[in-house]
Amino acid sequence: MALAFAMLVAACAAEPTPGRVEIVEGYAGLVAADEPRAAVIGRDVLGRNGTAADAAVAMGLAMTASYPSRVGLGGGGLCVVYDGPNLTGSSISFLPEEGASGAIAPRLARGLALLHARFGSLRWELVVSPAENLARQGSPASRALVEDVQLAGNHLSQDPSLYNAFYRDGVVLEIGDRVVMPELAAALSGLRSRGVAYMTTGAFADRLIAASRAAGAPLSRDQLRSSLPQEAPAREIPFGNDVILLPAEGDVGARLASLLSGQSTSGAGAQGVPAASFLVADRFGYAIGCSFTQNGLFGAGHTLGDTGVIMAAPSPAGGFGTSLAAALIANKNINRVRYGVAASGHDAPAAAAEVLTRLADQGQAASAAVAAPRSGGAEEAWVSAFQCPSGTVSGAGVSCSAAADPRGRGLAEIAN
């Protein structure tokens, strides 16, 4: 689904202040995501005076319940951030890659916790609770999830908890059927009350380690503790008076930089992985693009014991440079972020580069930019985008459009 929304917000008497839980009257920001339930949750967090980071954490964790085919606690991803109040760009990488033992430590929660610590304002438990509620009370299956279950085929048949969650009497669930994941809910409850230490220490970590050994990919407590997300300055490319902000991570950032600099790089022959992405921007001047993966549909196809954590599949031999992408265009002299893209799927960087060019160079609205035909393998990727020529900050007036790719089953909304 795509949404184009233009609006003018009159100047406010007082600057908005993040951190207080309150209902925002009028414009609060925008979201665009590959999965609609996550987009709605992000919109609601913005509408309660959360920052883009608060919304991003809530959306990423919510996807573990609403889009577990592509996003899970056992996986990871990357995010690029524009910190408007401080006029800086940052990159956070927490990709699901093998350690020395060959096992992949769960990194999603740690990456999102760092994002929240650096740029969030609401209490941690408030941004984790929506995901926990989805997993415990059940989330209506979206078309995006049902299509992935169908695509996975027999991949889930060896794991009773996954099979029972997504099949009804031996038949794939239907759109709108409620998906309940009690073991995931218990893991999210621990994260909500104890933070990421819940997954790296104590009884939960012991269960995770034992289950990984039984699965033939043994984790150690030291690996759980030392698999930390990496934050670095965003990779930058000058763009007139603005700058393009890209992930610092080598494979993804380097390929995006080459494409946006006019260098032709082919993703043909590279091993892509299923992924999901989203964008979020707030009225304070923060914007974030994230892309996530478990290295396979439903990761390796089974959960680690009773932990609710889906084990990630082996990482792609050629890296993540053809499957994940996120980029923002901002003016670092003033608090203004004007364009954003986040992409997932085969040749995601090429798709992101094409859409960003249409937004920034050709002045297309977000819906037109993501819907237009793309070249080669980029046609298979899903791209979310936003266009805010005068920036996303409320006050002097803001005019934005946001869109999720019609090739997928996502949703874009202005929080208003």
Distance CA 113, CA 293 (A): 17
Closest by CA position to 311, among listed 243, 217, 225:
217
Q: CA 165, 169, 173, 177: dihedral to nearest 10 degrees?
A: -80
Closest by CA position to 401, among listed 372, 368, 365:
365
Distance CA 148, CA 96 (A): 20
Q: Are 30 and 40 in contact (CB under 8 A)?
A: no
Rg (CA), the chain: 20
The tokens 């104590």 sit on which residue?
Answer: 202
Distance CA 340, CA 359 (A): 9
Q: Are 398 and 390 in contact (CB under 8 A)?
A: yes
Distance of CA 199 to the CA centre of its chain: 20
Distance CA 306, CA 136 (A): 15
pLDDT for the residue 10: 34
Domain containing residue 24: 2-415
Each residue's pLDDT expressed in tens, for the chain with a length of 416 residues: 444 433 333 333 356 777 677 888 889 999 999 999 999 999 999 999 999 999 999 999 999 999 999 999 999 999 999 999 999 999 999 999 998 888 999 999 999 999 999 999 999 999 999 999 999 999 899 999 999 999 998 899 989 999 999 999 999 999 999 999 999 999 999 999 999 999 999 999 999 999 999 999 999 999 999 999 999 999 999 999 999 999 997 888 899 999 998 876 655 555 689 999 999 999 999 999 999 999 999 999 999 999 999 999 999 988 898 999 999 999 988 889 999 999 999 899 999 999 999 999 999 999 999 999 999 889 999 999 999 998 988 765 678 999 999 999 999 999 88
pLDDT for the residue 398: 76
**DSSP secondary structure letter of residue 127:** H
pLDDT for the residue 270: 57
pLDDT for the residue 397: 63
pLDDT for the residue 2: 43
Kindly state the helix (H) or strand (E) to which residue 317 belongs, with its residue range: none
pLDDT for the residue 186: 98
Contacts of 148 (CB under 8 A, 6+ apart): 67, 69, 70, 274, 297, 298
Q: How many domains does the chain have?
A: 1
3-state secondary structure of 283: coil
